[in-house]
């Protein structure tokens, strides 16, 4: 007797992703995620949520969380997401996420979660003090994806392991409940250029909203003067820009700034070097600052306008939540029936 390949999912293609409302979005989020979401909405059925359930795995100020949710929604729209094309919604407004997560917690195995490296990194030496949610949130992430039967998920390096867990949960559910091909095994969408933007103060560290130095990042709400000042103060080295990608790779800060220029300009790093090789940062930084201001200032301006009218944002989020529930509810109803719950 030989093992047979699992039955493939045959439903429609759909992409899903989300960002936590746990701090101001920055250039790394913009290049690594938001511009990709904007492109995807024209290619595939797109669901983009504000991950407020994930955010509370660590303490969030209740007085600020709703406004932080609006800020993420404003960033989505200011970056080019169209609420009439993409479904934009708060995760907590669609109860099916949490309901399916509990069922998946009974499908996932403890050993699978024990292997999740991100929990070890986030909890450090004091994992006993971390919330249970921080430990189990990859299961909720699987529910986020599979409640919409999403077939594709944009991922960075730090989330690839979680997507593998989602595939494991989907496969085990399909097997355990005799539902071959019911859930898809989602495929990663590699984010491409601009997917990993590093700190402006340390080229070896990823740009982060939790960095205590505001000069380590360009926030999407920064105005033109702030953007230019942060580029001007970005850490570099004394050498002119090299001619080859290989030489550039050995210089973390220079590599980061060239990568930012390339992503903003829609070019490759090699094309940027072809123009600026042999030139110092006294020439390159002003050009980068001008480009960053050109690309990012309109985003910040639109964000500030949207945040000035929260009723508009709330209406967009409410409409998106209704649409998301319409997509998620049939999946949860079918899952309850497959599991054998009374009344399903």
Average pLDDT score, the chain: 92
Catalytic residue among 172, 206, 267, 323: 206
Q: Which helix (H) or strand (E) holds 15?
A: strand 14-19
Catalytic-residue membership of 232: no
Q: Model's pTM, two decimal places?
A: 0.89
**166, 113 Cβ separation under 8 angstroms:** no
**264, 291 Cβ separation under 8 angstroms:** yes
At residue 149, φ and ψ (nearest 5 deg) are 50, 45
Q: Report the SS3 class of residue 206.
A: strand
Buried b (16+ CB within 10 A) or exposed e, 71-90: bbbbbbbbbbbebeebbbbb
Catalytic residue among 85, 122, 319, 323: 122
Catalytic residue among 36, 149, 160, 209: 209
Catalytic-residue membership of 160: no
Q: Is the pLDDT of residue 123 over 90?
A: no
Q: What is the mean pLDDT of residues 312-332?
A: 98
> d(Cα 87, Cα 317) in Å, to the nearest integer?
9
DSSP 223: -
Residue from 90, 186, 91, 97 nearest 139 by CA: 97
Q: Determine the pLDDT at residue 187.
A: 93
Q: Is the pLDDT of residue 170 over 80?
A: yes
Q: What percent of the chain has pLDDT over 70?
A: 94
Largest CA distance in the chain: 72
Catalytic-residue membership of 319: no
pLDDT band at 1 (very low <50, low <70, confident <90, very high): very low
Q: Is the pLDDT of residue 191 over 80?
A: no
């Amino acid at each position: 007797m030989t093992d047979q390949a699992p039955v493939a999912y045959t439903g429609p293609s759909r992409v899903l992703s989300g960002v936590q409302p746990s701090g101001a979005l920055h250039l790394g989020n913009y290049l690594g995620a938001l511009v990709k979401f904007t492109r995807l909405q024209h290619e595939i059925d797109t669901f983009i949520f504000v991950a407020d359930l994930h955010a509370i795995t660590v303490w969030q100020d209740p007085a600020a969380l709703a406004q932080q949710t609006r800020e993420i929604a404003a960033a989505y729209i200011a970056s080019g997401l169209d609420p009439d094309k993409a479904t934009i919604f708060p995760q907590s407004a669609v109860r099916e996420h949490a309901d399916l997560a509990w069922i998946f917690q009974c499908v996932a195995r403890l050993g699978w979660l024990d292997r999740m490296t991100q929990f070890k990194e986030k909890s450090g030496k004091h994992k006993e003090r971390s919330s249970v949610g921080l430990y189990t949130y990859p299961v909720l992430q699987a529910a986020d994806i599979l409640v919409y039967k999403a077939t594709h998920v944009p991922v960075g390096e730090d989330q690839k392991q979680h997507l593998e867990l989602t595939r494991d949960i989907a496969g085990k559910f399909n097997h355990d409940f005799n539902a071959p091909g019911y859930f898809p095994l989602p495929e990663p969408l590699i984010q491409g250029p601009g997917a990993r933007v590093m700190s402006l103060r340390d080229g070896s560290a990823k740009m982060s909203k939790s960095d205590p130095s505001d000069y380590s990042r360009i926030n999407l709400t920064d105005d033109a003067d702030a953007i230019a000042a942060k580029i001007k103060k970005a850490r570099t080295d004394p050498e002119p820009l090299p001619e080859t990608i290989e030489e550039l790779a050995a210089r973390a800060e220079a590599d980061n700034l060239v990568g930012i220029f390339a992503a903003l300009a829609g070019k490759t790093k090699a094309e940027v070097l072809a123009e600026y090789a042999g030139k110092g940062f006294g020439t390159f930084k002003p050009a980068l600052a001008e480009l960053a201001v050109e690309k990012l200032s309109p985003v910040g301006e639109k964000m500030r306008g949207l945040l000035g009218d929260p009723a508009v944002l709330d209406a967009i989020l409410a409409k998106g939540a209704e649409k998301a529930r319409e997509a998620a509810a049939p999946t949860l109803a079918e899952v309850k029936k497959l599991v054998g719950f009374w009344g399903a």
